[in-house]
Amino acid sequence: MALAVTAAVAAAVVPALAQDEIPNGVFLVANRQLNDPNFHESVVLVTQHAGGSPVGVIVNRPTKLPLSRLFPDNEKLKDLPDLVHFGGPVSPRVLVFVFRAESPPQEALRVLADIYMSFSSELLSQLFARPEPTAELRVYAGYSGWAPGQLQHEVARGDWHMVRADADTIFRMDAAIVWKEMLKRATARQTFRNDPARPLAVAR
């Protein structure tokens, strides 16, 4: 199949953000009432690309497609169980990946202190060449994106909760429980009320 590769729950709220600001390194946690089939019970890891608009990947939608089938010529992937994840409805034939790196790589967007997102096929090939090719690496088909102001409007409308992102949830938490766990974290206290005049707030 050829695709274009391009411990405790804390409920404290960070200082109020400007109303038009979506911070880097957050999870968007779908509200129970969000019925869009692309995002129902989803958790989206969000950062900002160079143009300043939010971009992200859904972290709790593994597909049934093994990475080894997507890259049949890569012997290192042959016996690994890793699956491709559905990252979102935008460009579903484009591969996006999230990974940990000690220093900032080129052609990558910073998500957390040492977690990055990239569309670069060359960089993905370099990661696959490591002794443990899929260690702290997730590959997604498609991604999630918003026009300027669109995501801010959706948050203000109450479609999403915002929670601080963390590496354990991205790389290690069972996808089947991610949404419930993040929703529990988001609603441990009322971190956002459906009030367009209230600044956006993020649960830790």
Other C-beta atoms lying within 10 Å of the C-beta of residue 97: 25
For residue 4, pLDDT over 90 is answered with no
Instruction: Count the domains in the chain.
Output: 1
DSSP sequence for 26-89: EEEEE-TT---TTTTT-EEEEEE-TTS-EEEEESS-EEEEEHHHHSTT-GGGTT---EEEE--S
Most confident of 103-112, 162-171, 192-201: 162-171
pLDDT at 204: 59
**Does residue 9 sit within a domain?**
no
Q: Which is it for the CA torsion 148, 193, 24, 92, positive or negative?
A: negative
Does any domain span residue 8?
Answer: no
Is residue 194 very low, low, confident or very high in pLDDT (cuts 50, 70, 90)?
A: very low
Q: What is the pLDDT of residue 202?
A: 62
- Answer yes or no: is 5 within a domain: no
Structural domain contains residue 19: no
Note the pLDDT of residue 25. 87
Model pLDDT for residues 102-141, shown as the tens digit of each residue: 998 989 999 999 999 999 999 999 999 999 999 999 999 9
What is the domain range of residue 107?
A: 26-186
Domain-embedded: residue 12: no
Tell me whether strands 83-86 and 54-58 are parallel, antiparallel or unpaired: unpaired
CATH code, domain carrying 87 = 3.40.1740.10
Q: Is 4 helix (H, G, I), strand (E, B) or coil?
A: strand
